[in-house]
Structure 1
Amino acid sequence: MTNHRNGWPTREKAFAAFATGPLLAFWQTREEGEFNGVNNIPIRYVRFHAAHHDKVILLSPGRIESYVKYPELAWDLFHCGYDVLIPDHRGQGRSGRLLSDPHRGHVDAFEHYVDDLETLYLKEIVSRPYRHRYALAHSMGGAILTLMLARQPNAFAAVALASPMFGIYLSMPDWVAQRILNWTDKRPGLREGYAPGTGKWRARPFGINDLTHSRERYRRNLRFYADDPQLRVGGPTWHWVREGVQAGKSILSKAKEISTPLLLLQAGEDKVVDNRAQDLFCQAMTAAGQPCEGGKPKVIVGARHEILFEKDSMRAEALDAIVAFFARHP
């Protein structure tokens, strides 16, 4: 495991050779599955398994993402001794869509994401003889996983959240945004329409992206969507934004109910989610006598939103922290 981790800080130097060689061979070992989520929406997922592993990590991706984007992270965790399980959340990736326009990022109720994740947990983790259960989540996936922890405080030995979506950046005061969202939610013509400034999926040049400093990883991830139109998701609907805002408020109110050991990784240059909400969440956990690791978020200085897809130095810092944290909570 140590030898594998030694390569994390320098992988980008030969990224193409790694991605088209060992990583591609690893991806071909995946097991794919499907189950019916809430309202019979098909939920697709992928699993990487080794008979000698007694540890598992449930990985919850962010908005618009598919497990197709996650082979590198799965490779790293797998070679640290973990089985890895990754779903495509409803409305994205290879799971079922909810609207006739498949590009619209939509959910009827945010809790449906949580219901689906809990179903997968019961189906593929509880039913198997794992001795150690962990979870890792990014962005929207962090909000979903955190709400699941409020339901299932003993589901995992420890959990790591990377840039969790506990608050969304809005271009207006919260009270104004809430009034507008409540107004649009009562109007079907707007409710399922794209939120302002968004639309169908389109490729954005690396130079203007707010997600990562890693040119190699950004271009690779962009190719997944460019090459497979089925994976594309564009902007969120008005209703999704409202559900996301409400989910953040629910998470802050339920922080006191979360007793699972928790590491929160915060991107120092995040322009997608509101880091202040992450700070408030850790403060609420501390006030309840169950502080997150270190009592506050661990800031990855200089990182953009996608910490787990950042350039080598930042990504390695995050992965080292995650693996070490899990090792302290067997």
Structure 2
Amino acid sequence: MPVNYAKWLTREKEFAAFATGPLLDFWRTREEGEFSGVDDVPIRYVRFCSPEHDKVIVVSPGRIESYVKYPEVAYDLFHCGYDVMIVDHRGQGRSGRILDDPHCGHVKHFDDYVEDFDRFYQLEIATRQYAKKFALAHSMGGAILALYLAKNPQNFDAAALLAPMTGIYLPMPGWVSRRILNWAENRPVRRDGYALGTGHWRPLPFVVNQLTHSRARYRRNLRFYADYPELQVGGPTYHWVREGIEAGMHILKEAEKITTPVLLLQASEDRVVDNRSHLAFCQAMAVAGHPCEGEKPLVIEGARHEILFERDDLRAQALDAIMRFFARQL
């Protein structure tokens, strides 16, 4: 059990003091960088490094997220003995936007995310002599990482996928969504506009959020978006949803190529990704002869989608599982 486990279990009780004290001091040690992604879109990233560390964890965040949201996660991973690097995917965070409306969540091709991630790997990871290289990915970032591992299974020693977007939770039958998306795809104004029921970013009260049970962490995340309006991203475009669905299907087809040891964590109360797709992914990995850790998703009972931003007990359970999994690869 990590030496910080007890602290993870009690942090919310004094969260403000932690956030404005040790966490803020840690955040000030960051190094930020930028490189050109596909079509010369600027991709921003952050790193936390120590000469005492010989292993690294690369973090691939979810849709609309930025590394500005991830100081607490980086703090905990760093204090477990890892360098930490976090990438802002194109179209969100501090990276370049794709459309004139910066709130539109959009990508031309889902593989653009994967190519950006590979350029980052070659720039920051391949050039450093780490004894072990690990990856941690959430939601859309999990889909990006899974596709990357299908092409480059040797580049990481292990990967943890948290609520990965191997399938999108949709409030309608699949055949209905496909007809709508195919209709919009042939109409550029619709294709690159907000998907049905979405729009500009707006803050939602904690009581109606579907992402976490942690009031402290939810409020802190809202403040990031309020304090830094340039980070705000609203709903996805019709084209992004289509690309996301096709990416999930592609992941299931390519799962057999992923020989990297994988731990998949699932939130039992997820209403963003389709949990059934996690089981299908693990089954595909098992059939190929390299099953996920435990041969099935590790379910965090009671957790909502943002597992590492959940209340202390759920978050500590997930972090403990991840740290134990990575330690076994050492």
What corresponds to 1:117 in structure 2?
A: 117
What corresponds to 1:257 in structure 2?
A: 257
What corresponds to 2:44 in structure 1?
A: 44
CA distance in 1, matches of 2:173, 2:96: 34
Identity of aligned residues (%): 67
CA deviations on 1:93-151 (whole Å, 9 max, x unpaired) are 00000000000000000000000011111110010010100000000000000000001
CA distance in 1, matches of 2:223, 2:171: 30
What corresponds to 1:150 in structure 2?
A: 150
Deviation, 1:170, is 1.3
CA distance in 2, matches of 1:315, 1:84: 18
2:233 is the counterpart of 1:211: no
Normalising by structure 2, report the TM-score: 0.99
Q: Residue 153 of structure 1 aligns to a residue in which SS?
A: coil
CA deviations on 1:220-262 (whole Å, 9 max, x unpaired) are 0000001110000000000000000000000010111111000
What corresponds to 1:103 in structure 2?
A: 103
CA distance in 1, matches of 2:89, 2:108: 13
Whether the 8 Å CA contact 2:37–2:116 is kept in 1: the answer is yes
Normalising by structure 1, report the TM-score: 0.99
CA distance in 1, matches of 2:60, 2:5: 22
CA distance in 2, matches of 1:71, 1:286: 35
Whether the 8 Å CA contact 2:9–2:313 is kept in 1: the answer is yes
CA distance in 2, matches of 1:130, 1:103: 37
- Paired residues, number: 330
Moved segments of 4+, more than 3 Å: none
CA distance in 2, matches of 1:16, 1:173: 43
Whether the 8 Å CA contact 2:278–2:297 is kept in 1: the answer is yes
What corresponds to 2:280 in structure 1?
A: 280
Q: Residue 123 of structure 2 aligns to a residue in which SS?
A: helix
Aligned ranges for residues 243-322 of structure 1 at < 5 Å?
243-322=243-322
What corresponds to 1:194 in structure 2?
A: 194
Deviation, 1:179, is 2.4
Q: Residue 320 of structure 1 aligns to a residue in which SS?
A: helix
Q: Residue 3 of structure 2 aligns to a residue in which SS?
A: helix
Whether the 8 Å CA contact 2:2–2:323 is kept in 1: the answer is no
Deviation, 1:172, is 2.1
What corresponds to 2:159 in structure 1?
A: 159
CA deviations on 1:12-52 (whole Å, 9 max, x unpaired) are 01100000000000000000000000000000000000011
CA distance in 2, matches of 1:281, 1:174: 18
Deviation, 1:177, is 1.5
What corresponds to 2:181 in structure 1?
A: 181
- Letter of the aligned partner of 2:145 in structure 1? L
Whether the 8 Å CA contact 2:2–2:320 is kept in 1: the answer is no
CA distance in 1, matches of 2:258, 2:107: 25
CA distance in 1, matches of 2:289, 2:198: 41
2:239 is the counterpart of 1:239: yes
Q: Unaligned 5+ residue runs, structure 2?
A: none
Q: Unaligned 5+ residue runs, structure 1?
A: none
CA distance in 2, matches of 1:261, 1:129: 21
Deviation, 1:2, is 3.9
